Structure 1
């Protein structure tokens, strides 16, 4: 910071004088918020701070173009904004998310930081406000209500864009595993009971389709966020904003953000209602529910190693001693990354509830709980992104199949018995299976070596597609009697 500084300076607001650290760019009102409002140590998300600074940069340019702000002042504000966007002065943003629901404290904090830094760039000193005033110049044509909610939209769009690669990678890995396991026939399960066969590839492909659909739903839900309410000022009526301000701001923000933004159709609705954010949060919750179910299924298929299903094996990331005989039995690998993904999903579902409660708590023309909505929504997106990056590469990519275990369980489930019964009848099938009940795997060999069925028929019923594609099953003599 330029200029010689003392340890502190005195600034004034409506309550009187207040002492400010001399090396601070924030001013009197931010100091009041720090001293008088609730604090818990939480920080505003960097994406929101960047989005608000982007709005301030656009506003300075547009107000200058419209003749409402001297170009020299506008240039200094734009330079100060660029400094913050490049990572400078972030320690000067000290407002906290739960201090003021409409983002008032953060808007004030950023206005003061930018005004004081721009004052220095113009040759003045921070805290004097001789050339630039935080409210008259930095908040010109704006109110915290439209600035904050516009920045919310930009922050969520940015967070979702950064989240997309993790979700696409998840679907890609699931589809790849589906191809890898395409010919692995195993027991299907309904109500956790043995059912008709399925391939492991079909299970993983269904997981991939679930992720694909959830991703599409999330994308569609976020389309409404590209509509901005900037220019609505206090409550959506555009009080103290130039008639051309909104359209120019949207154009400028589109250039700065590289997003295809558009003016809001009803700024009053966008001031009153947080439903656009609820819609995105709901889609994120749906995704979390689906991912939690997939993680649960993988943990079940991995259960074991001896007394569980154990059809797949997750990569070992940590080993723990056997609880039965630590010094005599092998160490065990726990499904930690799948469990972590479950916990991440639980957290996101809880955040969605907080967002829903905050959204319905608005009154009349504004919602004073907007900061809680943004804090939870962007944190949820980031949390799921981090959870998926770890799960994708350290767990899902390394999953392998125990084909021998799959065939063992399949033979024990009655699937092969049903296939043979369709060809030779129930009585002969029972007799054949009775001979090999102690060793179901020997039955397969007996079918191949004996003359019970012709080789083409044996090849047909042992093929992975026999029980796992749509077909009308032949009726077996005695089947109804057996079922009864």
Structure 2
């Protein structure tokens, strides 16, 4: 390429030609060369890029208010940040998400892109840092060690908000199915063995409750992310930052993002601690485990269609086999299972990265960020496809379900308060051995009248245990 297609930039290692078109600079370019690791660049995480721009904008506003940054420079930096937050120049964030240096390469990438765009807005060429410098001006009052963690916490809240929206849709779909199946009686199971009757609506309603619990926990985890260490600079002592910078920058950042942010009471602790990130990962793992369990249930309940449980029908979305015509597989639940496995594995990586922090800083937040952003995106997508491509189209095989209830030995459980455990056990054993119903055996031995049996063993009443217990009478 011709020399005029490059500009020469300088750092402590020497000179480096930087493509003239690039808004990033020498520090970013060295990071690109040093960390060709995942192939996933910062541009894959727009929430993080927008959060970095928000942090830099808040810092510029605070430094302007403190008369530490020339108003013309501050205005240019603010304008550049607003452009980035609107989606522009995201392709200039080219550093790999996995990098050494505790996020320094990410911070440098942001500083350089913002500085070069601000220079253009001021009427200068990219790279003419004598007019506005990436570190002296854009990074003023900051360090990677407070700017990057703060941006990460802001970005994670944005990504988590989308997951909560997807969880709400899935929860509503389960609630709708719970209402639809409220009158469909079936046999419950424990340890894959017949238990006592319930309704299919109760089964689906329980799934909705699971998601409600995790949504609350996710909201609490996001609240913990509101504590930031911006203004702590390198290790939390605030070196090179104005005494009023932390509070002022936090106020501006809250206004920019609309988030309830607050400065950590102990910035030295906050600079090295990743507890809020570990907690968020734990909540996401919990959600993943529950989603996977639900999908396991759906696959079991829909197994068959002739040789399995066959209690529900999942909507067919694609052919299931290249060799078996007509076969349809539970591909959507299977995909969500795999999402869960990935999230659970990421939780291990996050745990190790958090534990590996040393002294006043954790150098491994880039890995934590990579895992958490992927978790949030995967779980969001999983909730959406499970809602749209599976739950909403589920139908029940109601006649089959009712027939299994009348055949199940679990019905005998309801007779125990009336005939005693020993006689109930004997009746169950005989029913199982003779392939007859529990009701027939109890009637044959005159343990209860046919009317009493019909009332006690009504599957509809058995699915409402509190009503059953209220009507129970002592054994004779």
TM-score (ref. length: structure 1):
0.87
Map of 1:18 onto structure 2 = 16
CA drift of 1:422 comes to: 8.8
Map of 2:135 onto structure 1 = 135
CA drift of 1:205 comes to: 1.6
- CA 1:18–1:402 in structure 2 vs 1: closer, same or farther (change >3 Å)? same
* Distance in 1 between residues matched to 2:460 and 2:271, nearest whole Å: 58
Map of 2:346 onto structure 1 = 351
* Distance in 2 between residues matched to 1:61 and 1:258, nearest whole Å: 16
* Distance in 2 between residues matched to 1:196 and 1:210, nearest whole Å: 21
Map of 1:104 onto structure 2 = 104
1:466 equivalent to 2:462? Answer: yes
Q: Which residue among 334, 343, 347 is the counterpart of 1:339? A: 334
SS at match of 1:198: strand
Higher helix share: 2
* Distance in 2 between residues matched to 1:397 and 1:158, nearest whole Å: 27
Deviates most, 418-427 or 171-180: 418-427
Matches within 5 A, 1:35-184: 35-44=33-42, 45-184=45-184
CA drift of 1:37 comes to: 3.9
Matches within 5 A, 1:29-428: 29-44=27-42, 45-320=45-320, 326=324, 331-415=326-410
Contact 1:197 1:468 in 2 (8 A): no
SS at match of 1:137: helix
- CA 1:6–1:193 in structure 2 vs 1: closer, same or farther (change >3 Å)? same
- CA 1:85–1:400 in structure 2 vs 1: closer, same or farther (change >3 Å)? same
Q: CA offsets, 1:72-126, max 9 Å, x none?
A: 1111111111121222222211111112341101111111111112112112111
List alignment gaps of at least 5 residues for structure 1. 447-451, 478-484
- CA 1:175–1:36 in structure 2 vs 1: closer, same or farther (change >3 Å)? closer
CA drift of 1:257 comes to: 0.2
* Distance in 2 between residues matched to 1:414 and 1:442, nearest whole Å: 10
SS at match of 2:129: coil
* Distance in 2 between residues matched to 1:169 and 1:101, nearest whole Å: 40
- CA 1:95–1:465 in structure 2 vs 1: closer, same or farther (change >3 Å)? same
CA drift of 1:410 comes to: 1.3
SS at match of 1:40: coil
CA drift of 1:177 comes to: 1.6
TM-score (ref. length: structure 2):
0.89
Count of matched residue pairs? 459
* Distance in 2 between residues matched to 1:187 and 1:243, nearest whole Å: 67
RMSD: 3.0
Q: CA offsets, 1:151-208, max 9 Å, x none?
A: 0110111111111111112222222222222222211111111112122122112222
CA drift of 1:339 comes to: 0.8
SS at match of 2:16: strand
Q: CA offsets, 1:305-344, max 9 Å, x none?
A: 1121111111111133596xx56xxx12211111111111
Contact 1:101 1:372 in 2 (8 A): no
CA drift of 1:7 comes to: 1.4
CA drift of 1:390 comes to: 0.5
